[in-house]
Structures are given as C-alpha cells and as structure tokens.
Amino acid sequence: MRLVVLLCLLVSSFCASAADWTMQAGSSLGFTATYQGEAFEGRFGKFTPAIRFDPAKLAGSRFDVRIALATADTRNSERDEMLRGSEFFDAAKLPEARFVATRFRALGGNKFAADGALSLHGVTRPVTLAFTWVAGAKPVLDGQATLKRLDFKIGLGDWEDTDLLPNEVKVKTHLVLAPAVATATTPVKK
C-alpha cells in the first residue's frame, strides 16, 4: 500500500511541476508580408504546438511547433498556389516547417523571448520568438518574430528582387492554452 501511495505522490508532483499545455480553439499562426508595396496577411490552417512553459522555470521550458505549409492561406488562390509551389514553400516535397526552442529569457513583466531554430524549406536558422504570457486557467501566449525569407531560400530566382517582394516576413501567433492532461497511455516527456 505504501508503494502505491508513494507512486501516486510522485506522479502527481511530477504532473504539477510539468507546465505542459495544449492548444485550444481561438489559436492562430499567421504572417504578414508585402508585394509591390501592398501588405498582405496569411495564416496556416494547421499547426501543432507542443508547449512546455513555466515563467518561474524557464530552464525546463520548450516549444516544438510543427506547421503544415500546404495550409497557407492568404485569401488569394493564385498567391496561395504560388506559396505552396516549388518557388516558395515547395510544400509537396517539404510539407512541414518546424520551430523548436529550448532557451528562454525573461524580458520583464510578462514578456519573454524563446530562442530556437526554425527549419523551413530544407534550411535551419536561429529564430527568436518574442512573446507575452498571460497566466490563468487558460493562459494566452501572443508572440511574433521577423524572418528573412531569403535565408530560408524562399522566393529565389525572379523573386529575389527585394524591391518587389521584401526579404522580411513577420510571423505572429496567438495561442489559447489549457493544461495538458497526461493519461496512463500518454507519458509526459521531460
């Protein structure tokens, strides 16, 4: 009996200290760019964030976000087809982008930075996501990063002209989160 009680205490204390979160309805991942001086916005219809974050335990925090590139949507079918095609994301050959961050910094108040690596179009580069964390029963993470598309070989050839299509792309995320529930068949990763 003591062994059962001890195991229950260990499991409950581990789960309480692990700040694992799952994405809820109302979350989004989008981007803003310009073409010939006109700004446009887009979003990814499918992305999967695995979030472990505790403002008091930054050393144990981790973001692992997988993005289905074929779900890019700018509300312009011609542009969307081009984005998914070989000149840009090449989503048929390289269907996923992935951002993994394991180093976190407190910036004061509820502001933080997640230093990680973005793998996109066969290229991996360092990227920092600046974000705010609003704690609560359903915490909210609002973040943004600026990427240089040419660093990831996005839009080469005729599209390398940065007067036509600037190099910088802003990425924004809004995550509504809830505590992840560990089940007997789903172990919590350290």
Question: Structure tokens of 182?
Answer: 């560990």
Q: What is the DSSP string of 69-103?
A: GGGEE-S-HHHHHHHHSTTTT-TTTS-EEEEEEEE
Give the whole-angstrom CA distance, residue 39 versus residue 60: 38
Could you tell me which residues are beta bridge partners of residue 146? 170
Supply the pLDDT for residue 11.
39
Q: Over the range 54-92, which residues count as b (16 or more CB within 10 Å of their CB) and which as e?
A: beeeeeebbbbbbbebbbbbbeeeebbebbbeeebbbbe
pLDDT tens readout for residues 46-99: 999 999 999 999 999 999 999 999 999 999 999 999 999 999 999 999 999 999
- What is the structure's pLDDT at 51? 97
Task: Determine the average pLDDT of the residues in 3-25.
Answer: 54
pLDDT confidence of residue 120: 97
Q: Is the pLDDT of residue 184 over 80?
A: no
Q: How far apart are CA 63 and CA 115, in angstroms?
A: 10
Q: List pLDDT tens digits, range 87-137.
A: 999 999 999 999 999 999 999 999 999 999 999 999 999 999 999 999 999
Statement: residue 176 has pLDDT above 50: yes
Percent of the chain with pLDDT over 90: 79
pLDDT at residue 17 in the model: 38
Reply yes or no on whether the pLDDT at 180 is more than 50.
yes
d(CA 66, CA 96): 7
The arrangement of secondary structure in 20-179, i.e. its CATH architecture, is Beta Barrel (2.40)
List the chain domain ranges.
20-179
Closest CA relative to residue 73, chosen from 35, 44, 48: 44
